[in-house]
């Protein structure tokens, strides 16, 4: 009789762990999807403003605060530079994902991107 109840509790804990792991994995992939959506917006701003100018950075930071609560950081060696038509801008978008039921685990997400200045 006791073995049956112990097995039921064990199955319950294993089932809960699997369910939480699946939800956490889904949230992680959702975070990667958000980073790719943000990358698309950064590309658009670089193309429209001729690089990562101060105006482009202001628009990117405003969009980041409004839609993603400031969780992304854009890093580039070409910050605040106006570039001529056809020049390439390389940048990296960084964020950190914390798994919700295992606070010790966190994963840095880094998405590299390039965009071409479209300003003549």
DSSP 14-44: HHHHHHHHHHHHHHHHHHHHHHHHHHHHHHH
pLDDT per residue over 12-46, tens digit each?
999 998 998 888 888 888 888 999 999 999 999 98
pLDDT of 37 reads 93
pLDDT above 80 (res 1) = no
Query: Contact, 112 vs 88, CB < 8 A?
Result: no
Query: Contact, 45 vs 117, CB < 8 A?
Result: no
| Strand ranges across the sheet with 73-75 | 73-75, 88-98, 106-116
Q: What is the SS3 assignment for 86?
A: coil
pLDDT above 90 (res 49) = no
pLDDT of 73 reads 93
Range of the domain at 7: 2-116
Domain count of the fold of the chain: 1
Q: Tell me the average pLDDT of the chain.
A: 86
pLDDT above 90 (res 65) = yes
């Amino acid at each position: 009789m006791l073995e049956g109840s112990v097995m039921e509790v064990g199955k319950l804990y294993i089932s809960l762990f699997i369910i939480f792991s699946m939800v956490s994995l889904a949230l992680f992939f959702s975070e990667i999807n958000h980073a790719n959506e943000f990358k698309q917006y950064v590309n658009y701003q670089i193309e429209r403003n001729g690089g990562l100018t101060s105006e482009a950075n202001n628009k990117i930071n405003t969009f980041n605060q409004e839609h993603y609560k400031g969780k992304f950081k854009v890093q580039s060696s070409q910050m605040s530079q106006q570039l001529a038509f056809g020049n390439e801008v390389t940048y990296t978008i960084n964020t950190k994902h914390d798994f919700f039921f295992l606070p010790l685990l966190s994963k840095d997400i880094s998405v590299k991107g390039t965009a071409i200045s479209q300003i003549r």
